[in-house]
Chain A
Amino acid sequence: MLRVSPMISIQDLVKQYGKFTAVDGVSLDVSPGEIHGFLGPNGAGKTTTLRMIAGLLKPTSGRVLVNGHDVATEPEAAKASLGFIPDRPFIYEKLTAGEFLRFHGGLYGLGEDGLDGRAREMLELFDLGRWENELVESFSHGMKQRLVMSAAFLHRPRAVVVDEPMVGLDPRGARLIKDVFRTMSARGVAILMSTHTLEVAQEMCDRISIILKGRIIARGTVPEIRAMGDGHDDHLTSVFLKLTGGSGLQEIDEII
């Protein structure tokens, strides 16, 4: 059987801040066309891991490969294959949506020819077509988030890393993003997605990794993860809480 090489591959990734270890030996592969959910409680190390994959943070040790390129030694080749969507969509407020996308395209080496058309196409896809010539500063959080996503897909990346994609999106926006992710995945794009919304992970992800205190504590398909719970719950919530030590929730009733 032909083995498909992973589009995103992280090997024994460690990140330390002084004595504190934020990410502790994480290894993970995301194959082309796979949507991989990255779950974990706040402060577990999700964003740190994603930022290392995106080349924003330097790992203390370990490797990150994107499309076969090492982010540490071939950062430009690795980044050219990657689209990154951060959790907080900070973008240049004084550019219009169209200008921002054209600028972004230029950074990713897209030539002038066809860039305008491609930018317009992405804006239409993310329901921002009529805002093309408006300054980003007048956008809502959700609109900025959609603009960042349209930029991430603009250069036709082979892999996408997305941190909390549904934050600040209305149901229509969330539906749109899910559809886009599914379509991209069907076209062979590898997507690594961190989320707190377990329903989203359950609905969209082919595989899930759960991280706690910097270590991967569970990995598998949704049914496999569900089986790690007591098996009575169709939802991931109880499994997630069991694995990540959220049993303290039972005390809430007493406290309140």
Chain B
Amino acid sequence: MVRAFPYLLRPHVFASRNRARRRQRGDLSRGLLFGGIGVVVCAVLFRASAWLAGQLTGYAELGDYLLRLGLSWLFLTFLSFLAFSGVVTALSTFFLSDDLRLLVAAPVATRRLFHARFVRTVVQSSWMVVIFLVPVLMGVGWARCATPAYYLTAVLTVVPFAIIPVAAGTAATLVLVNTFPARRARDLLMLMGLLFAASLVILLRFIRPEQLMKVESLPDLTDFFATLQSPITPLLPSFWAGETIFATLRGGRDLLHAGALWTTALASIVILRAASERWYFSGYSRSQEAPKARFTRFRTLDVVARLLPLSPVRRQLLVKDLKIFLRDVSQWSQLLLLLALVLLYLYNFRVLDVQRIPYMSEFLKNVYAFVNLGMAGFVMATIAVRFVFPAVSIEGHAFWIIRTAPISLRDFLWSKFWTGFVPVFVLTEFLTIVANEFLGVEPFLKVIAAIAIVFMSFALVGMATGLGARYPRFGADVSQAAGSYGGVTFMLQAVLFIIVMIILLGWPSSLYLVHQVRAIPLTVGQEIWMATCFATAAGLSVTLWIRSMRAGVQALQRMGE
């Protein structure tokens, strides 16, 4: 008996069920944490969209027009996201997933396999969009006192709306995999995605949205709306989705656009299925071919490492970590995004016009110096969670090599610490010094910030390394490790630490500056207080650094129990 295609989805259903049944340490707190964040985000989205839709009601025709436009733009944004997500997910679900070896070898018709994989691709690519859309559409409906028909239409609209771009993305993957080997295609896609994101960030920054805040630079209203329309818009599923929902919101029905959505979705499935029956196996077969990978040998790295005053073990660990990092496109390509963020960060301080309010400029400059310190701390925490926290996890299944080698796990973890510390410290110290220079803050604050970064680097990199060793995810890739329970725990601790540091440094610094401006000498008591605060900040950093590393080493040592 040939079972229907949902049978092929059973392993995923069972796996999810088993995961839910067999809770692991930290699952509950992770669930509560992520669930709590999710509920808060959904509530905020619901309230914000309800408020906005409610406000627009007051503008009659114009309000309706803006709401209609807003819906169309919302769906347009998601359309591009879904298409790109579809390409990446399809690459994994159709070509790189491990269970395909079992399924392709089994007597399963390509058509059934396609249906099962396509359902999985649609769900995996679109769940985030759906979670975002649900509170937004509910908020709009609530503000407009919509009938149940609105909510039903919303569901019936979102389904085909998600299918169409994901089908387009899957088709693109099919073409891509039949042109390049799948593993190379994945590298290309990651790079494309990151370049796309980085250029978008830079572009957004360089069009200077802060100019919009100035009334004199706002364009004429009609011109503004004209730019939002384009001849191609009505041909896109995002427009159809927006129109369908908007019509029900006003108590009517837009069967034309709803029909367009459903017929296009079904047609894209049929066409994609036919293409899949014709080209899937050849693409899958190509993806199995082990390409003789091109790679860089990094001979200079070996030469430079030999010059460093390190023990052979630490040198070999450093060289190994750097080579693996630089050869793994999914890791180093993140640096592009980081570069974009750094440029953006410095550019923000460059364009910051603190002189606009003359009597406030001195005060503002010094406040910004602490904002800068906080920002540098967050940048540091972000880099640490992405690059330092997974340092133990990336040893992966090859960790037995370290554990059976005659080196202490302490040496191993400290090597990981220093490998992460140097780049993180250099980058954030550079950012802080340059940004403070752009701002022209007081020399005293410049020194305080520069010293604070030294201590914060030790503490944050130590925390990331230590927690990475306590909560390793050996089977996971880098981003999964960073987003795991340990990664989230690190981010929470890091944020708390940064806040405490800013308080401990901000209060005595402001005291000093106020006395400087007013030319009043500090009392002995105040000086003691200042010293205590600075010493507490330094002590806290060092304690966190050492304790985290010790806990990490102990966790590694306990691993074999």
Contacts and interface: CB of A to CB of B under 8 A. Distances in A.
A58 B561 contact: yes
Contacts, number: 95
Interface stretch (B4-12, B168-176, B313-321): B313-321
A235 interface: no
Given A55-B404, A91-B398, A108-B406, A102 B316 contact: yes
Interface string A72-95: 000111111010101010111011
A255 interface: no
Interface in B289-348: 290-293, 295, 297, 306, 312-313, 315-317, 319-320, 323-324, 327-328
B396 interface: yes
Given A57-B560, A107-B405, A112-B312, A86 B400 contact: yes
A160 to B, nearest CB: 11
Nearest to A138: B290
Nearest 8 A/B pairs, CB to CB: A106-B316, A90-B397, A80-B406, A107-B405, A79-B406, A94-B327, A76-B406, A58-B560
B323 A99 contact: yes
B329 to A, nearest CB: 10
Interface in A15-60: 51, 54-58
A54 B404 contact: yes
B232 interface: no
A90 B396 contact: yes
Interface in A90-143: 90-92, 94-96, 99, 102-112, 133-135, 137-138
Given A54-B404, A95-B323, A106-B312, 20 more contacts: A56-B560, A76-B406, A76-B407, A80-B406, A82-B404, A91-B398, A91-B401, A94-B323, A95-B320, A95-B324, A96-B297, A104-B401, A106-B317, A107-B401, A112-B306, A135-B293, A135-B327, A137-B290, A138-B290, A138-B291
Contact of A103 (B319, B327, B560, B561): B319
10 contacts: A54-B400, A75-B408, A79-B404, A90-B400, A94-B324, A103-B319, A107-B316, A109-B313, A109-B406, A137-B290
Interface of B: 290-293, 295, 297, 306, 312-313, 315-317, 319-320, 323-324, 327-328, 396-398, 400-408, 560-561
Contact of A135 (B295, B313, B317, B405): B295
Interface of A: 51, 54-58, 75-80, 82, 84, 86, 88, 90-92, 94-96, 99, 102-112, 133-135, 137-138, 151
B282 to A, nearest CB: 22
Contacts of B316: 102-103, 105-107
A109 B293 CA distance: 31
Contacts of B407: 76, 107
B313 A55 contact: no
Nearest to A82: B404
B398 A108 contact: no
Contacts of A112: 306, 312
B557 to A, nearest CB: 9
A45 to B, nearest CB: 16
B560 A55 contact: yes
Nearest to B295: A135
Among B297, B306, B315, B407, the most chain A Cβ lie within 10 Å of the Cβ of B407
A54 B406 CA distance: 10
A106 B323 CA distance: 15
A90 B323 contact: no
B469 to A, nearest CB: 16
Nearest to A74: B406
Nearest to A51: B560
Nearest to A78: B406
A110 B297 CA distance: 22
